């Protein structure tokens, strides 16, 4: 029996028929290290269609993007192109775009303090425009990207369908704008690193697109490392060094060691004594438990009594509330340097993330002005900076297990032995702790020759380490060095 095709109401049919690409191009220039760069900004939506055996492929979504291309490039095979996205799930691409690598940068932090409105945006001297063209992608349901009329956005909100949707856009953009010869890179942040790892496999195996490199900013590839669920002790171990870094920053630790040396000590304790203690569960003796609790007190600043009451298992949400409870302050999740206020000090976890509150206003206001005034793109839609998609995100294929795209990345690196990986970690990041990222890569079991293709860097900042000026400066230097080794252009 033939499956009956879905019939849409007439107004939906008409809206689907009228969908078309809307792209605006403008020209700009800026200086980077004293050199002038002229570039084209291309902004708009591309209608994505189902690849079906039909004379009229049907629209399924509209993907919004912002791209920057250096002008005057004669040989596109020598000019890299980088596809960029953020995480969430549900985040637009605005953070990497206006915070780290785009030609404009939002000022959201001065002297480690949030800035008040009105907000400032300026030329970004740390942009990657001198190294690569860039395409910033908003997945369906974020930014201005939407499902086509009659389609449901939820169909894109699984790890697999999200990768397919973004991957198909990358393939189409590469074809339409003649970039198949160009060295190709991905850069993702947070869940965007999950997406990037998934894309490493999808682009290779579905579209035959082999990448030169992937940049993972605040990475999470194996979700077991970050899910505080009963029976999963791994996060308690892997979050500990970030708890320690946070307590160190807020002067709750009695030590004369540098932060780096202090964390090395904490990491060794986490790998050994602490891991063994958690493995024992309630078979720990009173003396053993108290010994571990005292050590955790030295590393986290929390009281021995509190730690014992947690059964030596400190949950992230409790930590953000407990560390400065006596001072009536809470700490951030994305960046534990930031402090917030709650109604009272008796709750289990904070009412909001003060580090997210510090960036939401600056990035939203400056983007909405920039897109219309500088880039000439007008839309009355709400630009979804961070849509609440993570609550409805479906992990159907991961039922009774944890999402782990580390294996996808390992296989992609095995198939493409020249694929270079750059990983940036913030020491004050409690969303994707650096120790969890180390654990993930250590358990990918890469062969020695492939392991050499992974560059791991650290910054004394949070999830968005580029908010802190000296971290942004270091990040640009690290990325430039990475790019110089990630591809070689044959000049013959």
List, for residues 235-257, the tens digit of each pLDDT value: 999 999 999 999 999 999 999 99
Q: Mean of the pLDDT values across residues 159-175? A: 96
Q: What is the pLDDT of residue 487?
A: 80
Whether residue 319 has pLDDT greater than 90: yes
- Closest to 231 measured CA to CA, from 402, 394, 365: 402
pLDDT in tens, 85-102: 999 999 999 999 999 999
> Residue 302: CA atoms inside 13 Å, Cβ hemisphere, count?
26
Q: How confident is the model at residue 3 (pLDDT cuts 50, 70, 90)?
A: very low
Q: Mean of the pLDDT values across residues 381-404? A: 89
Measure the CA dihedral 335/337/338/342, to 10°. 100
Give the least confident one: 158-172, 377-391, 448-462: 377-391
Q: How confident is the model at residue 1 (pLDDT cuts 50, 70, 90)?
A: very low
Q: How confident is the model at residue 171 (pLDDT cuts 50, 70, 90)?
A: very high
The H or E element spanning position 38 is strand 35-49
> Residue 422: CA atoms inside 13 Å, Cβ hemisphere, count?
23
Mean pLDDT computed over every residue of the chain = 93
Neighbours of 442 (CB within 10 A): 10
Rounded CA separation 307/300 (Å): 10
Whether residue 50 has pLDDT greater than 70: yes
Q: Mention every residue, 6+ apart, whose C-beta is less than 8 A from residue 17.
A: none
- Phi and psi, residue 125, nearest 5°: -70, -10
Q: Mention every residue, 6+ apart, whose C-beta is less than 8 A from residue 196.
A: 85, 186, 187, 188, 214, 215, 216
Q: Mean of the pLDDT values across residues 164-173? A: 97
Whether residue 396 has pLDDT greater than 60: yes
Q: What is the pTM of this model?
A: 0.95
Q: Mean of the pLDDT values across residues 353-357? A: 93
Q: What CATH class has 17-224+360-486?
A: alpha beta
Q: CB of 449 within 8 A of CB of 481?
A: no
Domain ranges of the chain: 17-224+360-486, 228-352
Give the least confident one: 130-144, 232-246, 338-352, 468-482: 338-352
Q: What is the pLDDT of residue 34?
A: 93
Q: How confident is the model at residue 139 (pLDDT cuts 50, 70, 90)?
A: very high
End-to-end CA distance of the chain: 59
Q: Which residues of 117-134 are buried (b: 16+ CB within 10 A; e: fewer)?
A: eebebeebebbbbbbbbb
Measure the CA dihedral 412/484/67/52, to 10°. -20
């Amino acid at each position: 029996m033939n499956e009956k095709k879905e019939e849409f109401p007439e107004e939906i049919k008409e809206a689907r028929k009228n969908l078309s690409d809307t792209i605006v191009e403008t020209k700009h220039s800026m200086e980077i290290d004293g050199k002038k760069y002229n570039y084209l900004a291309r902004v708009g939506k591309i209608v994505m269609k189902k690849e079906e055996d039909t004379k009229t492929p049907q629209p399924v979504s509209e993907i919004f993007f912002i791209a920057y291309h250096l002008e005057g490039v004669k040989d596109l095979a020598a000019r890299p192109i980088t596809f960029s996205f953020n995480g969430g799930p549900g985040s637009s691409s605005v953070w990497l775009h206006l915070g780290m690598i785009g030609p404009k940068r939002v000022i959201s932090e001065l002297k480690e303090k949030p800035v008040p409105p009105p907000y400032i945006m300026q030329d970004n001297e740390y942009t990657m425009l001198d190294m690569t063209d860039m395409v910033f992608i908003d997945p369906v349901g974020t930014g201005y990207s939407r499902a086509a009329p009659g389609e449901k956005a939820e169909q894109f909100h699984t790890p697999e369908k999200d990768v397919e949707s973004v991957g198909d856009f990358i393939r189409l953009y590469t074809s339409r704008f003649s970039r198949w010869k160009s060295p190709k890179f991905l850069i993702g942040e947070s869940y965007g690193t999950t997406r990037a790892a998934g894309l490493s496999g999808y682009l290779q195996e579905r579209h035959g697109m082999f990448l030169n490199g992937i940049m993972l900013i605040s990475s999470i590839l194996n979700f077991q490392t970050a899910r505080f669920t009963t029976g999963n002790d791994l996060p308690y171990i892997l979050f500990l060094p970030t708890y320690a870094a946070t307590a160190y920053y807020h002067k709750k630790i009695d030590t004369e060691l540098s932060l780096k040396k202090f964390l090395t000590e904490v990491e060794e304790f986490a790998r050994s004594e602490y891991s063994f203690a958690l493995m024992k569960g309630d078979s720990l003796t009173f003396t053993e438990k108290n010994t571990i609790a005292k050590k955790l007190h030295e590393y986290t600043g929390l009281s021995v009594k509190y730690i014992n009451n947690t059964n030596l298992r400190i949950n992230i949400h409790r930590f953000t509330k407990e560390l400065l409870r006596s001072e009536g302050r809470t700490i951030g999740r994305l960046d534990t340097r930031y402090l917030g206020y709650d109604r009272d000090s008796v709750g289990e976890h904070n009412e909001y993330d003060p580090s997210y509150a510090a960036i939401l206003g600056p990035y939203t206001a400056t983007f909405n002005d920039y897109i219309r005034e500088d880039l000439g793109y007008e839309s009355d839609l709400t630009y979804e900076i961070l849509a609440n998609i993570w609550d409805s995100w479906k992990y159907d294929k991961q039922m009774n297990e944890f999402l782990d795209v580390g294996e996808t990345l390992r296989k992609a690196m095995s198939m493409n032995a020249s694929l270079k990986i750059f990983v940036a970690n913030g020491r004050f990041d409690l969303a994707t702790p650096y120790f969890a990222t180390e654990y993930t890569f250590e358990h990918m079991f890469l062969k020695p020759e492939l392991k050499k293709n992974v560059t791991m860097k650290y910054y004394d900042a949070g999830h968005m380490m580029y908010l802190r000026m000296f971290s942004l400066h270091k990040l640009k230097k690290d990325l430039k060095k990475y790019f110089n080794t990630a591809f070689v252009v044959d000049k013959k």
